[in-house]
Structure 1
Amino acid sequence: MNRIYLYVVVSLFSVGALSSCGGGGSKGGAVSEKTGYAYNKRENGGFEVKKNFKRGPGPGLIEIEGGEFIMGGSAMDIPGQDMSAYNYKRQVTVSSFYMDETEVSNTDWLEYLHWIKTTFKGKQELAQYYYEALPDTLVWRRPLSYNEPYVNNYLRHPAYGDYPVVGVSWQQATDYCVWRTDRVNEFILREKGIMTPFKELNKPTAKGGAPVKKSDTIFNTEVYLNGQIKDVGKRAPIDLSANAANANGKGKALRNVRLEDGEIFQPYRLPTEAEWEYAALGLIGNTQYANINEKKIYPWNGLGITSPKKSTRGMILANFKRGKGDYMGVGGSLNDKGSITQSVRSFTPNDFGLYNMAGNVNEWVQDVYRPNTFEATEGLNPFRGNEYADKERDPQSAVIKIDGKGRPVMKPAAAGVKQTWAQLQSKYVDSTYKSDQRGYKDEEKNLGNGELITLYDNKSRVYKGGSWNDQAMWLNPAARRFLQEDESTADIGFRCAMTMLGAPEVKSVGKPQFRNKAPKPFKVK
C-alpha cells in the first residue's frame, strides 16, 4: 500500500486504540485468583494476561451505545404510508457497536481498487479480482434520460470523490468489509513495529545488508493470528513461553500478536437491520433517566423535513426527491442542493453523530429479507441471515487453507456443537445440523411445479434509509425494501459497522457505578 494513504488513515484512530503492546502484555505482578501463579512470568510457564486494554473504534467509526427500542415503531406516525409494508413492531435490544460516520465514498472505493491493482500486479488473479470489485456504472443509464456523463465520470472524477459509491451489490459491499478489516489490522501492526513497518520494507539495512522483503503471503487477520505469516518486527511481544532466542539480539524470542493481546480490531461488516434502524433514529438525544421525551419519525426531531433553526430555517434536512420530477428545487434557490447524490458529509448529523442516515443513498444491511422477519427473531440483537461456516484447516497441524486472495477457505459448519477429536479426524459431518439458517423457520410454498410464489428468497437483502431518488416516506428509519444480493442500483450504497466488545456503556463518567473490591492476593504460609 502506498504510504500516502497510510498517513491519511492514521489520523482517524482513537488514541486508546493505539496503546503500545511492546513487551508482550500486562506488567505489575498480576496474580491468578484461582491458582496463585503470577501472570506474565517466564518461570511460571509464560501465561500472559493483558490488563491495560483500551478499546476504541477503528478508522472512520464512531461509538453507538446500544439499548432497547421499538423496532418498526417509528413508521406509525407517517401520514399516508402503506402500513402493510411495516406490519412488524417489536421491542428489541441492540448491543453497543461501532458504525461508520459516513457512507463509503468513491474515493474509499478507488483506494480499494488501487490496492487490488498494485498488490496483484503480475498475478493471474488480478483480472478477475479487479473486475469483480468494479462497481456497475451502467446503473446510471435510463432509456429516457441523458445520464451518460455519470456512467463515465461518477466513480472516478474528483468532482464526485466524496460522494457515496453506488452500483455496488450487497456481495461487493461485504467483500469490501473483509478487505478493509485486513488493511486496518495490517496497518496497526506495522505502524507499531509489531510487524516490519512499511517504510522499512524493501529498504537496505543500515549496515548494508540485504533489504527486508515483504512476505509473499497477503496479510489476512485470521491467517496472521494462526501464525502463518512470519513477519516479526522489533516491537513485537516477547514470547514468555519460549526458550529459544530470536534475531533481536537480546536473547528474547518474539512472537506474533494474539487475539488475547487486544491489538487486533474486530471485523468490519455491514450493520444488521436492527443496528441500522436504532442508529438512524438516534433516540439517545431524546432520552433522560431511561425515558424517551420525544418520539421520532426521521433521524431528526419534529414532523417536518425542513430546518426550524433561525440560521437555517426552511432548508431541507436530507437529500431526497420532493415530488415527481423535483430533484433539487428552483435555480437560485435549490432546496437540498443536489440533483443526484451529494457529499457523504452533507447536512447535519443525527444525535449519534452519523451523517445521511436519511436520504442521499439507501444503504445495504446484512439481513435476508422477509416481510414478517421480527415475528420470529430474538429479542436481543435480532437478525436473519446467519450462514455458519468454518475455516478449512488441517486437523493435525491446524494450518488454514488460503485462497487466491490470501483469505481463509471457508466451508459450511459441520455441526452445531464442538466436535470430538475422533469426529474431527474422521471429517464427521452431522447431517441433522443446518449450517445455513438464513431461511430459519420459513415455510416455502410453491405453485406445484417447484416455482416459489414469493418474489424474495434467501438471496434477497434488506436496504434502508431512502435516497436522492426517493420521496420523503422512505426517509423513515423503519422503512425497509429488498433487492437481490448480486444486483445494484444508482441509489444504493452502504456504510460499515463493527462489533463492540466488553461493557455496553460507552461513557461512564458522571454516571452512578457500583464499587467492587479487588481480589486478595494468595500467600503461601
Structure 2
Amino acid sequence: MSKIHIYCSIVAIVFAGCKSTPKEKSTIVENITEKPSCCENIPDRFATNKQAKNDEMAWIEGGTFSMGGDDTQARDDEFPKHEVTVSGFYMDVHEVTNAQFLAFTDATGYITEAERKPDWEEIKKQLPPGTPKPDDSVLAPASLTFFAPNHPVNLNNNAAWWAWTLGANWRHPQGPDSSIEKKMNFPVVHVSWNDVMAYCKWAGKRLPTEAEWEFAARGGLIDKVYPWGNENIDTGKIKANSWQGQFPNINDEKDGFYTAAPVKTFPPNGYGLYDMAGNVWEWCSDTYHYDYYKTIKGASVNPKGPETSYDPNEPGVFKKVTRGGSFLCNSAYCSGYRVAARMKSSVDTGMEHTGFRCVKDK
C-alpha cells in the first residue's frame, strides 16, 4: 500500500502496477535503484539530541541465525532461509511513542509528510505519462486510515478497508476529530520512512536493518514461527495485539483493543522486547526487493539489504521494508506477526498501523 496506490484509485487509472503479479515482472519495469531520501539533507536543527540515552533499550548480543520463513504461511519473498550473522546492538524495548515523537517535534519544529500538502510533481513521476492531476481537494494533507466495512469483503481488495483521510496524521490518528491527548504511551503512527529517519538522527539512533529486526524478534528461539514459539496466536493466553474475528468487518477484541494498544501491554520476548508481533508495523532501514533472499549466496554478515527496490504489485514505486505485523493482522488475511513476515511501503507513506523503533550501536 502506498500513496501512489491511492492516487491510482482516485483518478481511476488502472496501470500495470495495480494488477501485476510476480510472474509478470520481467516485462513490466526495470528494478528501481535507490533514490536519494529527503533525509540525506536534514537541517542542523535535527542534529543529534545530546540527551539521548540507552534507557528503555535492551542490549542484543548478536549472533548467527537462520533468517526466513518457518511455516506454511510464509510467503515467497521469505525464502529461501539463509544464514545471517549480526553484531551486537541496543534496541528500543518498545515502539516509539507519541510522547517521544512529541518531544522530537517540540525540539525541532519538524512537520511530518502527512501534515504537508502532497507534491504533485513528485507523485506523477511514479505514474504513467499523461495521468491527470487529481482535484486540489484531494492534494491536501492526509494519510491512510482504517475503516471497518459492515459486511464481508474481497480480501484481495485492500481499498475496501483503507481510506485517504484528510486531516489524518500522527496527532490525529483517525482523522481531524481524533486526538492523542490521552494516548501518550501509544505507538506513534502515520509516520513515513522519511519522517522516522529525521527522528533517528535527532535521537542519535538509527533504524534496525531487516536482519537485526528479525534476529531480535526471535528472542533467542531457533526456527520458531512467533516471538513466543510455535503456539498459534489465538491459542491459549493473549500474546499480542492482533485482529480476532472476521477481518475486516468483525473484531471480537479478545485482546482488549480494537486498534493500537499502549506499548508494553503484552508480554515481552526472550530479549525483553515488547510488541515484536502485532500492534503496529515497524520501519526498517532496508530497501525492499521481492527476490532479495534468492540473490543471497552463502552466509551474510550484517547485511544491509538490496541496492534496488522491486515490488511486483507496484513495480514503479520505491519501497522500504516494514516488519512485525499490526492490530489488523489476522490469519485469514495477514499473518504479519510471524517473526519472518515481510511487508513494504513507499518512503513517503504514513498509515494508521505503521510506526517504528530504533536501535543504537554499542
Q: TM-score, normalised by structure 1?
A: 0.46
Structure 2 counterpart SS, 1:338: coil
CA 1:111/1:91 → structure 2, altered by over 3 Å: closer, same or farther? same
CA deviation after TM superposition for structure 1 residue 476, in Å: 0.6
In the alignment, the residues of structure 1 paired with residue 321 and residue 287 of structure 2 have an alpha-carbon distance, to the nearest angstrom, of 6
- Deviation by residue 1:198-244 (Cα, 9 ceiling, x = unmatched): xxxxxxxxxxxxxxxxxxxxxxxxxxxxxxxxxxxxxxxxxxxxxxx
Aligned to 2:231, the other structure's residue is in SS state: coil
2:84 aligned counterpart, secondary structure? strand
Aligned AA (2:340): A
* 1:469 aligned partner: 328
Q: 2:282 aligns with which of 363, 367, 388?
A: 363
**Residue 133 of structure 1, CA deviation:** 8.3
Q: Deviations over 1:116-147 (max 9, x none)?
A: 24xxxxxxxxxxx4365859764226596899
Which residue of the partner structure matches residue 257 of structure 2? 338
1:410-425, aligned counterparts within 5 Å?
none
- SS state at 2:261 partner: coil
Q: 1:278 to 1:453 in 2, by over 3 A?
A: closer
Measured after TM superposition, the shift of residue 457 of structure 1 is 6.0
Is contact 1:63-1:97 (8 Å) kept?
yes
Tell me which residue corresponds to 2:144.
139
Change (3 A) 1:82 1:277: closer
User: What is the aligned counterpart of 2:216 among 263, 276, 279?
Assistant: 279
Deviation, 1:88, is 2.5
1:416-455 counterparts in 2 under 5 A?
438-439=307-308, 455=314
1:303 has 2:297 as partner: no
1:318 matched residue in structure 2: 240
Q: Which runs of 5+ in 1 are unaligned?
A: 1-8, 14-57, 118-128, 182-267, 287-291, 308-313, 386-437, 445-451, 501-525
Distance verdict in 2 for CA 1:153–1:276, change over 3 Å: farther
For residues 256-304 of structure 1, the C-alpha deviation after alignment (integer angstroms, 9 at most, x for no partner) is xxxxxxxxxxxx1100000001100112xx4xxxxx5xx4100002322
Checking the alignment, whether the CA contact within 8 Å between 1:363 and 1:494 is kept in structure 2 is yes
Whether the 8 Å CA contact 2:193–2:348 is kept in 1: the answer is yes
Distance in 1 between residues matched to 2:266 and 2:62, nearest whole Å: 24
Q: Does structure 1 residue 167 correspond to structure 2 residue 194?
A: no
Classify the secondary structure of the residue corresponding to 2:64: strand
Change (3 A) 1:456 1:174: farther
Q: State the partner residue of 1:67.
A: 63
Kept after mapping to 2: 8 A contact 1:363/1:463: yes
Structure 2 CA distance, aligned partners of 1:383 and 1:347?
30
The reply to whether residue 494 of structure 1 matches residue 353 of structure 2 is no
Letter in 1 for 2:247: K
Cα RMSD over matched residues? 3.1
Partner AA of 1:341 in structure 2: A
Deviation at 1:321, TM superposition (A): 1.0
> What stretches of structure 2 of length at least 5 have no aligned partner?
1-49, 117-140, 150-160
Q: Contact conserved, 1:357 with 1:465, CA < 8 A, in 2?
A: yes
2:207 equivalent among 270, 287, 292: 270
The residue identity in structure 2 corresponding to 1:63 is W
The structure with more strand, counted as a fraction of residues = 2
- Select the structure with the greater relative contact order (CA < 8 A; seq sep ≥ 6): 2
Give the match's secondary structure for 2:76: helix
How far the C-alpha of 1:337 sits from its partner, in A, is 0.7
Q: Distance in 1 between matches of 2:148 and 2:237?
A: 33
Between the aligned partners of 2:268 and 2:148, the Cα distance in structure 1 is 36
> Does 1:157 find its partner at 2:181?
yes
Aligned to 2:153: none
Deviation at 1:162, TM superposition (A): 0.8
User: What are the within-5 Å matches in structure 2 for residues 220-231 of structure 1?
Assistant: none
> SS of 1:319's equivalent?
coil
Aligned residue identity for 2:319: S
Instruction: Describe the shift of the 1:328–1:380 C-alpha distance in structure 2 as closer, same or farther (beyond 3 A).
Output: same
In the TM superposition, what whole-angstrom CA distance separates every residue of 1:49-81 from its partner, at most 9, and x where no partner exists? xxxxxxxxx233210011111100xx2324xx2
Equivalent-residue separation in structure 2 for 1:346 and 1:93 (angstroms): 31
Match of 1:17 in 2: none
* CA distance, structure 2, for counterparts of residue 326 and residue 104 of structure 1: 29
Identity %: 33
State the structure with more CA Rg: 1
Residue pair 2:148, 2:248 contacting (<8 A) in 1 also: no
Q: Provide closer, same or farther for how the CA distance between residues 315 and 280 of structure 1 changes in structure 2, counting only shifts above 3 A.
A: same
1-structure distance, mates of 2:324, 2:211: 13
State which drifts further: 148-157 or 163-172.
148-157
Q: CA deviation at 1:164?
A: 0.7
Instruction: State the partner residue of 1:123.
Output: none
